[in-house]
C-alpha cells in the first residue's frame, strides 16, 4: 500500500463515489481549506486527531476571534470525515481511526428565518417599481430585467422550491395547461423528483416567462430560468447560483430586510401549518422532503400560534 497524499485520497474518494460536479467541488474546497492549515505536503496517513483539534481551536476556539461559525466547522468536518472513512473502509489508509471522527461541535439552534407578509408586500412593490422604471426610461435598472426577477421571486414564494431546483427547470418541466411543475431529481437535495402545483397567483407569471422563452427560441430542454438570455447586461451561458444570490442581495438592500430563496421554504412551511386544516404530510409533499422529521425543521412556530392554547387553558 503506497502512502497517499491528501489530494490522492480525495481523487480515490471521488473516483469511487457518484457525485454531482458541484458536490465534487465542495469536497475539494473543504480539503483545500484543511490543506492550507496543515500544509499541502503532509501525507493523508500522517494527519492526527490532535492536529484536527488544534485546527478547531484556531478556527472556533475563541468566541471573540473565531474565523468560522460552529455550523461551518461541522460542515468542513462532515466532508473530510467522509473522505477519510472511505479511505479507511477500502484499505487506502494504514490507519484504523478517523482523525475527523468525534470532532464536531454542538450548535445553538435558532428559529428558522421566515418572511412576514409586510416584507413580501414591500419586495413586490420594489420589483414593480423597477419594472416601471425600466419601461419608462428604456434602460436597465439595478435589478435587471425586473420582469424576469419578479417571476423568479413569485416562483420561490408560491412553490418554496430550492434554488438548485429552479436552476434545473426546463420548458418541458412546466405544464401551464394542466397547472404543475416537475421539480427534477437533479436539482433536489435528496435526489427525488416531485411535482408542484401551479397556483392561480403564480400562473400568469410563469405563462409570461414561457411565452418569452418561446419567442427567444428556447428548446424544450433548455434552462428556463436563464437571465442571460433575457438581459442586456448578463452574458453567461447559463444562470448560476451567484446571479440569483446577487439579485436577492440587491432586493434585500432595497427592502431593508434579508430575503433569500431558502427563507421562502421556511415561510411556506410555516404558513401551511398555520392553516386550520394543516396537514404535515401535505407540507412534506409540497416541500419535496423524504421524511416528516425534515419538514418539522422548516415549520416555525411563532408566539401568536401558541397564544390561543394558553388562553384556552
| Residues acting as catalytic residues | 162, 189, 262, 265, 289, 298
Main-chain dihedrals φ then ψ at residue 193, nearest 5 degrees: -75, 140
**All 3 cell numbers of residue 98?**
478517523
Main-chain dihedrals φ then ψ at residue 77, nearest 5 degrees: -65, -40
Those residues with Cβ within 8 angstroms of residue 71's Cβ, 6 or more apart along the chain or in another chain: 107
Q: What is the CA radius of gyration of the chain?
A: 23
> Could you give the CA distance from residue 10 to residue 5 in angstroms, rounded to a whole number?
9
Measuring CA to CA, which residue among 163, 187, 181 is closest to residue 247?
Answer: 163
> Could you give the CA distance from residue 292 to residue 295 in angstroms, rounded to a whole number?
5
Angle subtended at Cα 68 by Cα 67 and Cα 73, rounded to the nearest 5 degrees: 135
Amino acid at each position: 500500500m503506497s502512502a497517499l497524499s491528501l489530494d490522492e485520497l480525495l481523487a480515490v474518494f471521488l473516483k469511487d463515489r457518484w457525485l454531482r460536479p458541484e458536490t465534487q467541488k465542495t469536497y475539494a474546497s473543504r480539503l483545500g481549506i484543511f490543506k492550507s492549515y496543515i500544509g499541502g505536503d503532509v501525507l493523508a496517513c500522517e494527519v492526527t486527531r490532535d492536529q484536527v483539534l488544534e485546527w478547531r481551536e484556531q478556527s472556533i476556539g475563541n468566541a471573540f476571534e473565531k474565523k468560522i461559525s460552529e455550523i461551518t466547522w461541522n460542515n468542513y468536518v462532515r466532508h473530510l470525515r467522509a473522505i477519510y472513512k472511505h479511505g479507511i473502509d477500502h484499505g487506502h489508509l494504514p490507519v484504523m481511526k478517523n482523525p475527523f471522527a468525534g470532532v464536531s461541535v454542538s450548535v445553538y439552534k435558532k428559529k428558522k428565518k421566515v418572511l412576514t407578509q409586510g416584507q413580501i408586500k414591500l419586495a413586490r412593490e420594489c420589483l414593480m417599481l423597477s419594472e416601471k422604471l425600466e419601461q419608462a426610461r428604456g434602460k436597465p435598472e439595478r435589478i435587471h430585467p425586473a420582469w424576469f426577477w419578479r417571476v423568479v421571486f413569485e416562483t420561490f414564494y408560491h412553490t418554496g422550491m430550492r434554488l438548485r431546483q429552479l436552476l434545473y427547470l426546463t420548458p418541458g418541466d412546466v405544464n401551464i395547461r394542466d397547472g404543475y411543475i416537475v421539480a427534477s431529481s437533479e436539482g433536489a437535495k435528496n435526489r427525488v423528483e416531485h411535482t408542484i402545483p401551479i397556483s392561480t397567483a403564480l400562473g400568469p407569471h410563469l405563462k409570461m416567462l414561457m411565452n418569452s422563452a418561446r419567442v427567444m427560441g428556447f428548446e424544450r430542454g433548455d434552462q428556463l430560468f436563464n437571465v442571460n438570455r433575457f438581459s442586456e447586461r448578463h452574458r453567461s451561458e447559463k444562470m448560476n447560483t451567484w446571479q440569483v444570490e446577487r439579485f436577492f442581495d440587491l432586493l434585500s438592500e432595497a427592502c431593508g430586510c434579508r430575503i433569500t430563496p431558502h427563507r421562502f421554504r421556511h415561510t411556506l412551511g410555516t404558513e401551511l401549518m398555520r392553516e386550520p386544516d394543516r396537514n404535515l404530510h401535505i407540507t412534506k409533499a409540497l416541500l419535496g422532503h423524504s421524511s416528516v422529521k425534515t419538514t418539522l425543521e422548516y415549520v416555525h412556530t411563532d408566539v401568536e400560534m401558541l397564544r390561543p392554547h394558553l388562553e384556552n387553558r
